[in-house]
């Protein structure tokens, strides 16, 4: 029975990747290092977690774990929106597209959640020239000493100086059922040599 289940899982993964390839005009995610454009990511994020060399795009309502030394946090993207408002750049603004997101962010102490917060995330083009440009984006996330960056639609990205910070995608949806020491999960650190990896939602581990 167990062997049969393994074969079924492999078949489902093959069919999912085959469907992805057909629907995304054969964009080869797993041979790339750089993050694809948002149009490509939108095609897959409903069915896959996308893992890059410094970021993880997690499906909506699935919890991503964050660990930096003794600091433990978790985040769940609840929604996101793009405005399709990109314009011709000017001397005062790059006029890049604007994005919004909402997430639940939780800090943990001694394995127990103790601080819940709703994050209202945004990414907007800075306005101004050079050092006097003003950026109204709300895209920085802090977990202890770690600084991370939200990127549309659902990526949490490590900064280059995020030494010691690790991310772990999970299938969990309830913050009260997380185990940061679970042997089921895998932690990802900043690694420029890592190519992208697609994990079907059905294969995401449960942190228990």
Q: Do 202 and 12 form a contact (C-beta atoms < 8 A)?
A: yes
pLDDT (tens place) for every residue of the chain, 208 residues total: 555 555 655 555 555 554 554 444 446 777 677 898 999 999 999 999 999 999 999 999 999 999 999 999 999 999 999 998 777 777 666 677 899 999 999 999 887 888 999 999 998 766 655 555 556 678 999 999 899 999 999 999 998 766 789 999 999 999 999 999 999 999 999 998 999 999 999 999 999 9
- In this prediction the pTM is 0.81
CA–CA distance, 22 with 123 (Å, rounded to integer): 31
Whether residue 195 contacts residue 30, with contact meaning beta carbons closer than 8 Å, is answered with yes
């Amino acid at each position: 029975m167990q062997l049969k289940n393994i074969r079924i899982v492999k078949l489902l993964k093959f069919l999912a990747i085959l469907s992805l390839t057909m629907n995304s005009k054969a964009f080869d995610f797993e041979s790339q290092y750089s993050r694809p454009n948002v149009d490509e990511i939108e095609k897959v994020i409903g069915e896959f977690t996308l893992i890059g060399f410094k970021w993880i795009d997690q499906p909506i309502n699935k919890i991503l774990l964050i660990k930096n030394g003794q600091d433990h946090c978790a985040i769940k993207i609840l929604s996101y929106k793009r405005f399709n408002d990109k314009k011709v750049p000017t001397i005062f603004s790059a006029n890049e597209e604007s994005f919004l997101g909402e997430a639940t962010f939780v800090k943990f102490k001694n394995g127990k959640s103790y601080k819940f917060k709703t994050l209202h995330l945004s990414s907007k083009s800075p306005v101004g020239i050079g050092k006097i440009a003003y950026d109204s984006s709300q895209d920085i996330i802090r977990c202890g000493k770690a600084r991370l960056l939200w990127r549309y639609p659902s990526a949490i990205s490590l900064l280059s100086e995020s030494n010691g910070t690790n991310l772990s995608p999970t299938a969990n949806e309830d913050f009260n059922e997380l185990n940061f020491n679970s042997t089921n999960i895998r932690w990802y650190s900043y690694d420029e040599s890592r190519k992208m990896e697609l994990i079907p939602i059905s294969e995401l581990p449960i942190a228990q």
